[in-house]
Structure 1
């Protein structure tokens, strides 16, 4: 599922970031301007609920796809000012208000649902991504819309900012994938591009035998593969990091923490010799001072640039 749980200290006591639970993107935290907290929380509630439909409970893939389709119809109703089904009032009442007040693009919200549906089908069918381009196409719908929605709220729509936002969001999605290998493999989710696997002499079948969380160290080729994916995600994050200087006020500082939180996960993966097959790295309260220091020192590029 999109961006499941890369938690950063940018989170607050309110719903804090986007991913499964949308922990990659700041939502309604104290750093956001008060007038934007309600629409950001509405976006979060929409994405989080859709993610729960797609990922939680014991429903079959077909049942999940049907629920996402019903959710999509209610989105269309909310966007057009019509009555929805009434099944998710806590989602669509505030979202309808945010759409009306801030002219939120329906297409960006619909892209998130399309990504959820794709993820359900991929997992159901045991399918994988052929190459990096195909995986980035998924990120363009699973992660990038959230960043673009936030830029929309800040009335930032120039091409450079949109490109940088997409780079940050896609990088966060990729970081989540490389962070969650030990979680995804047992659940039948496979995000490592097959072309990258082949470049390291691996196939998808090689990963079916891995026993994460406490098993013996994976083969060197698998660790080298994760190292390559980590470098890809780092370069992508660095290519968008200058956006922090284009976002006004407190939100720019929150974005700094999000960027640095993602980079910190990559550092932790590297420190574990790229073994996310048996360990899931995460950032926590102890990392806050270091992240804040790196965020403060950000210039035109992020650290490690």
Structure 2
């Protein structure tokens, strides 16, 4: 359920998404992708990026107050204001913008709690809106969705570590560097960096599979879609492991991964039968 860079596994065009749900999924994707690009793409100054994101927030306030706005990105959220039966407020969209604003300025994280707080705003709102689109509202579903979405966000960080380093951004928490006796200045050339990354891998892997209980609360093609979303994250983790946790090598999914993805999706479906409800992350 994670959405290129942050959103490359987003199921916007998947045939598994019923046709009647696709406009809502597309609106969510376009909002998230558009706002993320304001924070991360191009050569705008940090001040200009923050100003553009402020405009998105103002546009959201207008839309959910039924006031016209010409902000293109905010206008994608209008779908959810018009479809009030979905029960989606401005909160998840504002949470996403809050995370993107943080990305403009923040390049280091002190500990996992701080990183999980970021993921709670950058990834989890997407999963919760997706559940609303499909009429899934239980607290247990939200907790399992949060586990999957946060895990996918972490996996994306470890997948893209080499790209982020070039941008001066390191998502591995400073406390983890200290725990593994790795100097962040030497990352990723430090001889112990693979041991450090293995710990991040294992943390994300445990969290990802802990979300399988969500599949018990879904049905139809959406259930299969989410099983394959879990499988996509699991397959990236397998490739990170195959690279011996070397962050200078960026793993990607290829067409020939299809059979393995199917096996992993079936594994997720099997695990869902007995998986415990994951604890709250923050």
Q: Distance in 2 between matches of 1:94 and 1:226?
A: 37
RMSD over aligned Cα atoms: 1.7
Q: Would you say 1:182 and 2:162 are equivalent positions? A: yes
Pick from 103, 108, 127 the counterpart of residue 92 of structure 2.
108
**SS of match in other structure, 2:7:** coil
Pick closer, same or farther for the CA change 1:182–1:103 going to 2, 3 Å: same
Corresponding residue for 1:239? 210
Question: Which structure features the higher share of helix residues?
Answer: 2
Pick from 137, 145, 149 the counterpart of residue 129 of structure 2.
149
Pick from 11, 20, 24 the counterpart of residue 39 of structure 1.
24
Corresponding residue for 2:40? 55
Q: Deviations over 1:172-193 (max 9, x none)?
A: 0000011111111111111001
Q: TM-score by structure 1 length? A: 0.84
Q: Deviations over 1:151-176 (max 9, x none)?
A: 11112121111100000000000000
The offset of 1:242, in angstroms, is 2.2
**SS of match in other structure, 1:300:** helix
Q: Which runs of 5+ in 1 are unaligned?
A: 1-9, 11-16, 211-217
Q: Deviations over 1:118-151 (max 9, x none)?
A: 111114xxxx111111100000000000000011
Q: Would you say 1:191 and 2:162 are equivalent positions? A: no
The offset of 1:28, in angstroms, is 4.4
Contact 1:51–1:116, Cα closer than 8 Å, also in 2 = yes
Contact 2:6–2:153, Cα closer than 8 Å, also in 1 = no
Corresponding residue for 1:291? 261
The offset of 1:29, in angstroms, is 2.2
Pick from 154, 161, 171 the counterpart of residue 141 of structure 2.
161
Q: Deviations over 1:231-283 (max 9, x none)?
A: 0000000111221232121011010111011011111000111002x210111
Pick closer, same or farther for the CA change 1:94–1:53 going to 2, 3 Å: closer
Corresponding residue for 1:117? 101
Corresponding residue for 1:222? 193
Give the paired residue count.
270
Q: Deviations over 1:25-77 (max 9, x none)?
A: 32242211222110110011111111111111110001000000001111111
